Amino acid sequence: MDKEVAELIRLEAERQRNTLNLIASENHTSRAVREANGSVFTEKYSEGYPGKRYYAGCEIVDQLENHAINLAKKLFDVDYVNLQPYSGSSANLATYAALAGVGGKIMGQALSDGGHLTHGSKASLVSSFFQFKQYGVDQQGWIDYDKLEKLAKKFQPKVIVAGTSAYPRLIDWDRLRQIADQINAYLMADIAHLSGLVAGKAIPSPVGIADVVTSTTQKSIRGPRGGMIMTNNQELAIKIDRAVFPGLQGGPHQHSIAAKAQAFYEALQPEFAAYANQVLSNANTLARSLQDHGVELWSDGTDTHLLVFNSYQAFGLNGLESKDLLAEQGIITSQSQVPNDPLPPMLSSGVRLGTSALSTRGMQEDQMQEIAEVIVRILRDKANLRSEILGMAKQFKLPE
């Protein structure tokens, strides 16, 4: 082995063990998921789809991919699944190409209002490939569906994208379906952050309401880094298959598909539903506890696994400063803009928190109250609480 690589792996494992991960887009996987991801499937090239490969020796990877697809179908109660996208971003790009065509009109939630880069941000190349119009939130931080409807009728997009990266509230899938139907548009749901909560039946599913559902597999679903696309429309399924391969990608990462299968298997077990509900309960407790200390939250709370607090308003610290101060003490977060943010994105006013990873470690409401108090003390008084955080991290171990 390369001793430097080995040492860096050891250091990263130690960092994860000895810190508290509150990044909303991260989680901890089981040893089984990691072993599948590092298996001999990484050595096999398999361009195409099961039964239709361009390489010989794909008999076993065909069985693997079909097995993973069947697990995903059962987990999300859907007719079609494509597990070949390398990431959520590539899953979104392939879906845009299939539904709108290059240059087509798409509406997505603005990054500054809780959306994702791939939902039309000018910083992303998707804004060069398609015509995007952005919708946002009202003064209270909630999606303004009436304004969204007016914008959709005026813009006439081929696709309306719903799904967020920092927005802490549930999305009204039925209302968006009505809007999309009025203008004969496709509704696409990006549940990259929410797929584990949907799989655990802790929140409503957009499957059967949206025309297409995309997701990552590494966040609340506790799988490897990767993407997936789902639909009940067989005509769209054919277009999506072609858009993924050969349109966007070459050979799929079968080692990732093996790890996705393992994660789906775990999510189908009864205890996963309890986990998903604990994630929500922890997020609500963390939100209320921060509010008890006078901290302002985006939309005054959360319905999901994530929340965003206004550090600039509460402590006079921008999001970058707050993120770095917390990280020095062992609390790992990400900065975020808030609605009507007076600061530029590189600084931002907010900090985004998520409870998926800590819930995987077994933390519950008592720990969320303690963490909220610690966050406030660090940012308010710049107190040194590293030993206290380290003690909590050692008490709640990473999954085996």
Q: State how beta strands 306-310 and 20-21 pair.
A: unpaired
Peptide bond into 246 cis (omega under 30): yes
Within 10 angstroms of residue 347's Cβ, the number of other Cβ atoms is: 15
Whole-Å CA distances, 262 to 43, 71, 266, 392: 18, 9, 6, 29
- Residue 257 near residue 64, CB atoms below 8 Å: yes
Q: Is 184 left (phi over 0), alpha (psi -120 to 50) or beta?
A: left
Q: Which of 158, 169, 177, 219 is catalytic?
A: 219
* 74 is known as an active-site residue: no
Q: Which of 44, 73, 175, 225 is catalytic?
A: 225
Q: State how beta strands 331-332 and 20-21 pair.
A: parallel
- Residue 357 near residue 28, CB atoms below 8 Å: yes
Long-range contact set of residues 360-365: C-beta below 8 Å, sequence gap at least 24: 360/27, 360/28, 360/222, 360/275, 360/399, 361/28, 361/396, 361/397, 361/398, 361/399, 362/396, 363/282, 363/396, 364/278, 364/281, 364/282, 365/281, 365/282, 365/285
* 190 is known as an active-site residue: yes
The H or E element containing residue 34 is: helix 31-37
Q: Which of 34, 44, 45, 138 is catalytic?
A: 45
Q: Report the SS3 class of residue 300.
A: helix
* 216 is known as an active-site residue: yes
Positive or negative, the CA dihedral 307, 271, 273, 267 is positive
CA 155 to chain centroid, in Å, comes to: 28
> Among all residues, which ones are annotated catalytic?
45, 47, 190, 216, 219, 225
